[in-house]
Amino acid sequence: MKNAKNKTSRRETWKRLLAYIRKSLPLLALTIVFAGATVGLSLYIPILCGRAIDCMTGTGTVDFDGIARCLVKIGICASLCGILQWVMNSLNNRVAYRVIRDVRRDAFDTLTHLPLSYIDSHPHGGTVSRVIADVDQFADGLLLGFTQFFTGIATIVCTLVFMLMIHPLITLAVVVLTPLSLFVAAFIARRTYSMFRLQSETRAELTAQINEVIGGQPVVRAFSRESDCLAEFDGINDKLEKASLRAVFFSSITNPSTRFINNVVYAAVCLTGALAVIGGSMTVGGLTSFLAYANQYTKPFNEISGVITELQNALACAERIFSLIDEDRETPDKPGAVSLAGAEGEVRAEHVDFSYVPDRELIRDLNLVVKPGQRVAIVGPTGCGKTTIINLLMRFYDVDAGSILVDGRDLRDIRRDSLHGAYGMVLQDTWMLRGTVRENIAMGREASDEEIEAAARAAHAHSFIRRLPEGYDTVISDDGGALSAGQRQLLCIARVMLAIPPMLILDEATSSIDTRTEMKIQNAFAAMMRGRTSFIVAHRLSTIREADIILVMKAGKIIEKGTHDDLLRAGGFYADLWGSQFEAVG
């Protein structure tokens, strides 16, 4: 049952691969033509060598003119063969790398449209491994296949024709015996496919672990987890070593096995050919040519067996890539979905249910009404669903039941890009673009240098930007480079202040900023939020005292609602939170 499943999987992978190759059919056809011409010229050389030998086997005579003519022809054939071989390899490379480009583009396109549930539930390193390492392995197998498969087939066909012309009976013996090597190669290849697949999966697991450790290096060192991480790495690395050795060992049996069979065939040809020369049915030069052809005939079988082995690795990698490409994308916009132009900012949640894991409740029967321009703060203990509400408002996740409406329209009836463009977000986790500081601030929209600088001043980022080596033209990496966490967050705040969207989401937007700067930024936020619907997630309750509505959440439900003063007077859960933060300090 498992073998049948593997065969079906490989067949589907081949179909997908051929669909990509079909786009380069003209180049592929040229490759086949050049392969035939290259093989034809290279196989004509043994005939010329045989004729040259026959020119000097007569008793007491050597035909120097005949030898010279043969040598000239050999030189011309070898030169043309080299040129055509170079052109053919160039075409092969172009076809292979076009396929790789298209596969990698489709894989990355899928990555940009995957739902966040996939991104959150799969190790980033494993996903990166599929797009980079697996595609590279796939490319190596594809290049080897294109280069050797066509020339191998052409060599087999052409050598058969030439051998038949020299001695049909011995040719028949060669044809009968040689395919044994293919049966051996196919037998081994069928068993190595699953081994190469395990190798590819383990490599992805190792990449994920390395990515995790590098990204969390400060935490690893702070908690002295170096030895534990090394032990985990050693475990996966040993597993990869065993999987790789097993796959390579069994695949390496192919070539010696086929060479042994081919050597037996070659010995049989030598013996029967010598008998034919003695019997007078073949000349010495003819035997020399025939032996050259017999060697050329068996050589492609060795190469093709190697190609088959490499293709098992390539197919295993291709299957993992195609499985990523085939992942379910986020739910597409409905036909006729509208753009949210000029959003006023009225937001409603009606009987919303949502959970990340089906059997684990999170948000149940959430109801909320936010009027345009209101500032809404969301507070509560860790894990109560604050950030989840933000994910639902942005439609990073779809609700399980109920509906969320903006300006009276269900989010599912609004185009995603339009909805996202209506919000400005500053999150606790900052994200930087690999580029200049200027480009990072202007990510939200096209802006002049003056507008960018004004946004940076409003975010209180201008002073530290001026101290950078190249100011606003300083190039930073995607992890922020030498910038501190607070400086990266100031750039994200400047980015939103430049975009000036109709609605704002601030999720612990000042968590990495010192208290003095935070007070200044809160004033800038207050000015920016004026007239804009704003959602503020905060653990520090001092930052949301001026909110129009404070939603107090617990276990996925809104348990209290009101202004800061109203909630303190009520003496409920919010009052307890406030007291735990301030009265204990006092």
Give pLDDT tens digits for 158-170: 888 877 877 787 7
> What confidence score (pLDDT) does residue 40 get?
80
Q: How far apart are CA 523 and CA 527, in angstroms?
A: 6
pLDDT at site 399: 86
Residue 436 pLDDT > 60? yes
3-class SS of residue 384: coil
pLDDT in tens, 94-131: 888 888 888 888 888 888 888 777 777 777 777 777 78
* Region of poorest pLDDT, from 19-33, 273-287, 548-562: 273-287
Using the predicted structure, report yes or no on whether residue 477 has a pLDDT greater than 50. yes
At residue 60, the pLDDT reads: 59
Q: What is the pLDDT of residues 494-539, one digit of tens each?
A: 888 887 788 888 877 666 667 776 776 777 677 777 778 888 887 7
* Mean pLDDT calculated for residue range 421-440: 80
Provide the pLDDT confidence category of residue 57 given band limits of 50, 70 and 90. low
User: 459 falls in which pLDDT band (50, 70, 90)?
Assistant: confident
CATH entry 1.20.1560.10 includes domain 13-208+238-325: yes
Task: Convert the pLDDT of each residue in 219-246 to its tens digit.
Answer: 677 667 778 888 888 888 888 888 888 8
Q: What residues does each domain of the chain span?
A: 13-208+238-325, 347-583
For residue 531, the SS3 value is coil
Res. 586: pLDDT tops 70: no
pLDDT at position 419, please?
A: 84
* Average per-residue pLDDT for the chain: 79
Mean pLDDT calculated for residue range 392-396? 85
What mean pLDDT is predicted for residues 379-385?
80
Q: What is the pLDDT of residue 541?
A: 75
- Per-residue three-class SS string for 76-137: HHHHHHHHHHHHHHHHHHHHHHHHHHHHHHHHHHHHHHCCHHHHHHCCHHHHHHHHHHHHHH
User: Distance (Å, rounded) from C-alpha 99 to C-alpha 58?
Assistant: 56
Of residues 88 and 294, more confidently modeled = 88
Q: What is the pLDDT of residue 478?
A: 65
174, pLDDT greater than 80:
no
State the average pLDDT over residues 429-440: 80
How much is the pLDDT for 112?
81
Residue type, 44: Y
The pTM of this model reads: 0.63
Which pLDDT score, from 0 to 100, does residue 1 have?
A: 44
Q: 231 by DSSP, 3-state: which?
A: helix
The answer to whether domain 13-208+238-325 and domain 347-583 are alike in fold is no
Which CATH homologous superfamily contains domain 347-583?
A: P-loop containing nucleotide triphosphate hydrolases (3.40.50.300)
pLDDT of residue 585: 44
Q: Which of these, 311, 330, 324, lies nearest to 130 by C-alpha position? A: 324
pLDDT at 480 over 70: no
| pLDDT-derived band at 2, boundaries 50, 70, 90 | very low
Strand order in the sheet with 401-406: 363-370, 347-354, 401-406, 409-410
Q: Buried (b) or exposed (e) across 321-332, using 16+ Cβ within 10 A?
A: bbebeeeeebee
At residue 147 the predicted structure's pLDDT band, cuts being 50, 70 and 90, is low
Q: Which residue has the higher pLDDT, 548 or 145?
A: 548
Question: How are the residues of the chain apportioned to helix, strand and coil, as percentages rounded to the nearest 5?
Answer: 65, 10, 20
From the list 383, 390, 401, the residue with the least C-alpha distance to 554 is 383
pLDDT digits (tens, 9 = 90+) for 239-279: 888 888 888 787 777 767 777 777 777 777 777 778 777 77
Would you call 411 helix, strand, or coil by DSSP? helix
Contact (CB, 8 A) for 386 and 393: no
φ, ψ of residue 330 in degrees (nearest 5): -60, 150
